Amino acid sequence: MENRLYKRDIISIADFDRNDLELVLETAAQLKNSPRPDLLKGKVIASCFFEASTRTRLSFETAVQRLGGTLIGFSDGGNTSAKKGETLADSVNIISSYTDAFVMRHPQEGSARLASEFSSVPVINGGDGSNQHPTQTLLDLFSIRECQDKLDGLKIAFVGDLKYGRTVHSLAQALCHFGAEFTFIAPKALTMPDYILEELDEKGIKYHFSDSIEETAPKVDIIYMTRVQKERFDETEYKHIASRYILNVDSLKDAKDNLKILHPLPRVDEIAVEVDKTPYAYYFQQAENGVYARQALLALVLNEVV
């Protein structure tokens, strides 16, 4: 496959077409099967976390090391020059002049796009505020493809906080390239935002609403769980919500054999621990897959031929 990601910035999942997505997923699968500790040899990667996010950072840093690259950077923007009033633009300008790629996470929306305009090397967005987290979406897609052996025409249920969950929004948008059908299961106050539904309508994607995981499980291939934050509700309300939007073994009694459960992690109590032992649980493999998805991106951005 032609590598159209070479030297490209990875800012938003909206910048990817179906071919780009397939290239990353195919490369991730290859790297999972046969490690390539040479692909980033001699390359220095900046890992700049202007806000702390331990899992994402460790996942990126593992990816770099597994490909033989070297890392510089920081894990918490609290003690960088940003505090002294330096603009992000200046920081990026300088740090990118030392390195071959710039991985960043930042608390403000749009920071990654802005950084790409001031960076001399490709920028990879590790999360910008509530906006984008493209590598999460790629690892989600990779996990779905891996556990279902395909991406086309799958039925996917999203459960929990669909209003603020950016991982849900990006994943739904990416799955549109593969003709998915969605079921949304969420408390009224946390339902899928209109602008996403409008996009689905425009693309002719089918979706339904439901308020029961149990009734939905027999009809879908994937249940993608997210956390409903207790803080958003009062206690009685939360108890009611918990009874409907928490996944336990009972709610899976009529599930399809191929059903798999995903979750961006960390979970709190929205998936009962007993579900971990069922064949449906796939969230820990999903987290592991983050390293392969990130390896694939780094390899493709930094090598014309992988």
Partner 1 sequence: MRKKLQVEAIRQGTVIDHIPAGQGIKILDRLQLLDSNASITVGFNLPSKDQGHKDIIKVTNRMFSEQEANQLALFAPTATINVIDNYEVVDKFKMALPESLQGAFSCPNSNCITHNEPVDTHFSLREHKGDVRLKCRYCEKSFSKDIVAEL
Q: Is 105 annotated as a binding-site member?
A: yes
Query: Please, what is the minimum distance in Å from the beta carbon of residue 167 to partner 1?
Result: 15
- Which of 111, 136, 143, 289: binder of partner 1 (CB under 8 A)? 111
- Do the annotations mark residue 84 as ligand-binding? yes
CA dist., res. 104 & res. 124, Å (int): 6
Q: Cβ distance 292 to 39 under 8 Å?
A: no
Chosen residue from 17, 38, 76, 117 binding partner 1 by CB under 8 A: 117
The packing angle between helices 166-175 and 194-202, to 10°, is 0
Q: Which two tokens stand for residue 6?
A: 């070479």
- Cα–Cα distance between 114 and 107 in angstroms, integer? 13
Using CB under 8 A, pick the residue from 76, 152, 198, 250 that binds partner 1: 198
Tell me the window of 51-59, 82-90, 267-275, 291-299 that interacts with partner 1 (CB under 8 A).
82-90
CB 262 to partner 1: min, Å:
24
β 44-49/101-106 pair status: parallel
Nearest Cα to Cα of residue 101 among 2, 8, 4: 8
- Tell me: is residue 263 an annotated ligand-binding position: no
Q: Is 265 annotated as a binding residue?
A: yes
Please report, as residue ranges, which positions from 9 to 68 form the binding site for partner 1 (by CB under 8 A): 12, 14
Burial 109-126 (b: 16+ CB within 10 A, else e): eebbbbbbebbebbbbbb
Among 109, 163, 181, 258, binds partner 1 (CB under 8 A): 109
| Residues found near partner 1 in the complex (CB under 8 A) | 12, 14, 87-89, 106-111, 113-114, 117, 128-132, 195, 198
